[in-house]
Amino acid sequence: MKRKFLKSMAATALLANLPFIASAQGARSVAQIASYEGADRHAMLLEGAKKEGELLVYYSHPIVQVMLEAFNKKYDLKGKSWRGGSEAGMQRITAENKAGKYDWDIVLNPSHDCESLAREKLVVEVRSPFHPDLVEKGVPAHRQWAAFNLDVFTAAYNTKLLKKEDLPKTYEDLLDPKWKGKLAVEANDHAWYGALLADMGEERGSKLFEKLIATNGLSVRKGHSLLAGMVAAGEVPLALTVYSWNSPQLKRKGAPIETYFMAPLFAIMSAVAMSAKAPHPHAAALFYDFVLSEGQKIMIDADYVTSSKKFDTHMRNIPYKVIEPVEFLKQQDKWFKMYDEAIIKKAR
């Protein structure tokens, strides 16, 4: 009798908890949502995103806000964002993780930052159907980030102050006295400097810049957009390191600025990654896919170099070398020190 009573109670409890059990069994984890590859991926993500209603995006790249606004409008969601420098973003994520605070869903930062997050197990593998569209090495084997943009370091000059035919053909040409007081670089371009010296030879490159600074001088400005703006304003006749999108954007507004390609050219990939503890995983994965698809068209329209091979860019036929994130992380301490000692401390 007692056994029958216990069985009856167990059956009653099971029936009472069936909705909860079914819900728990049917719920997907963040990892399962991010890596889902079914034909209904988009529909599944959209349905879940509608229920979540929002997401939080951390980013450093200015085009991201434009993409997020387009995403919100298309899907009627309330995606929010926080923008800061890439270093500030990394510090914020690290501090929040230590405090057990998991508010952010997606981060868009330089690929070496996203690679660092992958090593710390703070981001999750994503299996986006748009990965095959990306450039070579745009998706690492672990698939915990994907390149959405390539920031190519180019020179820029003021067309009212300089003629194209008079521009330097090589870095050695910068030693000509006519460039005295006319040159500038960006304050955080240690990766460009390290890659350039690795290409031309550290001893040769170090001596070249030492002589350049001693004879013609080299000013340092913080921020690529600021530096490009100073070129457009005529305060800096020739900047050696702006991003490939800086000059075209200002030129379209009527500024007297032009991009100049001085070989060798180098690029850093910017990447999108999804938090391993995303509070809004469906919306996060949906935005991830959006960035690598429709977001690419938004970037093309704004003169960026997209990672998707489906779109042509103004840099497609210009040769450049990508500074891979693993190599960046390996060399960054050395490159920081080299740039600080050779450029920052001696620039004037």
Question: Which amino acid is located at 182 in the chain?
Answer: K
Query: What contacts 144, CB < 8 A, 6 or more positions away?
Result: 114, 117, 118, 123, 124, 125, 126, 273
Q: Tell me the two tokens of residue 29.
A: 């984890």
Domain 31-150+269-313 = CATH 3.20.20.70 = no
Query: What contacts 79, CB < 8 A, 6 or more positions away?
Result: 54, 55, 56, 57, 68, 71, 72, 283, 287
Per DSSP, the three-state class of 239 is strand
Q: CATH number for 151-267+322-344: choose from 3.40.190.10, 1.10.10.10, 3.90.850.10, 3.10.20.30.
A: 3.40.190.10
Which residue has tokens 């420098």?
85
H or E element at residue 288:
helix 281-291
In angstroms, the CA 148 to CA 290 distance is 10
Mean pLDDT by 10 residues, the chain (348 residues): 41 37 60 97 98 96 95 96 90 94 96 96 98 95 97 97 97 97 96 96 96 96 96 98 96 97 96 98 98 97 94 86 95 96 90
Per DSSP, the three-state class of 114 is helix
In angstroms, the CA 308 to CA 241 distance is 24
Each domain of the chain, given as residue ranges in start order, spans 31-150+269-313, 151-267+322-344
Is-contact 116 90, C-beta < 8 A? yes
Alpha helices in 176-268 (DSSP H): 190-200, 202-215, 224-233, 246-252
End-to-end CA distance of the chain: 94
Q: Tell me the two tokens of residue 254.
A: 């009527």
Q: Tell me the two tokens of residue 69.
A: 């606004």
Phi, psi of 306 (to 5 degrees): -75, 160
* Cα dihedral value 191, 193, 198, 203, nearest 10: -150
pLDDT at 26: 56
Estimate the crossing angle of helix 111-119 against helix 325-339, to 10 degrees. 110
Count other C-beta atoms under 10 Å from residue 194's C-beta: 24
pLDDT at 22: 32
183 pairs with which residues across the strands? 238
In angstroms, the CA 201 to CA 184 distance is 22
Is-contact 70 298, C-beta < 8 A? yes
In angstroms, the CA 30 to CA 280 distance is 9
Question: Which amino acid is located at 178 in the chain?
Answer: K
> Which burial class, exposed, middle or buried, applies to 253 when counting CB atoms under 10 A from its CB (0-12, 13-18, 19+)?
exposed
3-state helix, strand, coil in the chain (%, to 5): 50, 20, 30
Q: Tell me the two tokens of residue 319.
A: 């040769």
pLDDT at 10: 42
Which residue has tokens 């429709």?
294
User: Is-same-fold flag (31-150+269-313; 151-267+322-344)?
Assistant: yes
Is-contact 307 147, C-beta < 8 A? yes
Sign of CA dihedral 250, 253, 259, 265: positive
pLDDT (tens digit per residue) in 130-153: 999 999 999 999 999 999 999 999
By residue count, the chain amounts to 348
